[in-house]
Every structure is written in C-alpha cells, then in structure tokens.
Amino acid sequence: MTLPEHAICSLMIAEFGVRQRLGLQGVLVVVAAGVAPDLDTAAKLFGDQYFWKLHHALGHSLLSVLVIAVASSVVGSAALKLRNFGLLFRWSLLAAVAHILTDSLYWWGIQPFWPANSYELCFKLIEYLDLFVLTIWLGGAVWLFQSSRSADGSSTDRRRVAMLTLSTFAGYVLLRAALPKPTGIFHLLTGGWIYAAPQGTPVLDWW
C-alpha cells in the first residue's frame, strides 16, 4: 500500500486499545510503527539495484517489525512519558505486522525471513494505487475525523468506524481473491491506470 494508506490502517488499529488509554500521543507511536517498515525505501537513494534488493526485505521482515515495535515503545515510554510499555509494544507490533501483511497482497511481495533467506510472500491480489482501496482508506479517515469532531462522538463510535473500515478492506481483498482478474474499466480502476500514465510522471516514476 501507499504510505498514507499504511498510516490510516495503523490509525484504525490504534482506535481499538491505544487512544482510550494513552491518548493521541499513543496513537502517534502506533502510526509511526505502522509506517516505519517503509523506511527501507531509502535504498532508492543508492540506486535501483539496492532498492529492488532491499525494499520489502530490510524493513519488512519479522525481525525488522520486532525491532520497530521495541524501538517505538522505547521512544514512546522515554520521550513521550507514556507509562504502559507493554501496551505500546503490543499495538506497535500489530501495526507493523499489518503493514507487511497488507504489502504481501500486492504484486511485489515481502521477504518475512530476511536476512536468513529470501523467501517471498506474495499473493498478487491487488495492484498498487487501486482506486477502490484508496477510497476505502480515505473514506474511513474522513469518517473517523468527523466522528472525533462530533460533540456526541464517543470512543465506541470511533471503534465502530475503525472496525467497518478494516472489515471493508478485508472484504474487498476476499472479493478480489474470489473473482477473475479485472478487465476493461475495472482494470483501470483497480490500478491499471498507473501504467497508462506518461513515463516520468512525478511520484509514479519514483515507484
């Protein structure tokens, strides 16, 4: 998924046990842990060869997400003075694991056992920048924001939004697994449009 989509997914996860007990700072720690695996994108700065070798390996292995969860929890406990290290660790780990699992749904896959071996977990169910996926996450984020601003909005309302958003995404993934590969206009909407974009298009060319 894209970085904003990972951030929204982590935000939804934080609504189930972190916001209520640790507040906004706890949510920020979990979101940071949820996007941190993509720090290995920095390999692009050293050339495409390193990018394709290390991206979805260096930051996307089980060892990496464990380190990310520990580091996030330490920062949250020491720098932000959040007292429940165990709670931070569990939810940070869940957000980081969710990151690598959702990435495995795409065509590039991840290497969960790197650096021990280069086995790739890759389901090839979703295309990058699938507009339906983008709509699910952005719609959920807007809904959550509105629920947070509402005078009568409660933590139960926010958890309901998070549950429905995550469930909708999971349902879409299952639907894509059950249906034939999209064609025509559905192919474009589910990510095929990025291949029609002019070569050198900003952002798309980077990826």
Q: How far is CA 165 from CA 72, 157, 169, in A?
A: 25, 12, 6
The yes-or-no verdict on residue 199 having pLDDT over 90 is no
Q: Is residue 57 part of a domain?
A: yes
| Domains in the chain, number | 1
3-state secondary structure of 125: coil
Q: Please give the torsion angle defined by the CA atoms of residues 17, 20, 21 and 26, in that order, rounded to the nearest 10 degrees.
A: 80
Q: Is residue 176 part of a domain?
A: yes
pTM of the predicted model over 0.85: yes
Two structure tokens written together for 107: 């065509």
Confidence of residue 152 (pLDDT cuts 50, 70, 90): low
Q: Is residue 203 part of a domain?
A: no
Instruction: Please give the residue range of the domain that contains residue 110.
Output: 3-196
Q: Would you state the pLDDT for residue 202?
A: 58
pLDDT in tens, 92-143: 999 999 999 999 999 888 999 999 999 999 999 999 899 999 999 999 999 9
The values of phi and psi at residue 95, to 5°, are: -65, -40
The yes-or-no verdict on residue 169 having pLDDT over 80 is yes
CA separation for the pair 31, 141 (Å, rounded): 13
Q: Is residue 157 part of a domain?
A: yes
pLDDT in tens, 46-71: 888 888 889 899 999 999 999 999 99
Tell me if 134 sits within 8 A of 5, measured CB to CB.
yes
Q: How far is CA 191 from CA 27, 96, 197, in A?
A: 30, 24, 11
Q: Is residue 185 part of a domain?
A: yes
Q: Is residue 45 part of a domain?
A: yes
Where do the H-state alpha helices sit in 15-154?
A: 19-35, 48-54, 62-78, 85-103, 131-149
C-alpha angle 119-121-124 in degrees, rounded to nearest 5:
135
Q: Is residue 81 part of a domain?
A: yes
Residue 173: other Cβ atoms inside 10 A: 16
Q: Is residue 63 part of a domain?
A: yes
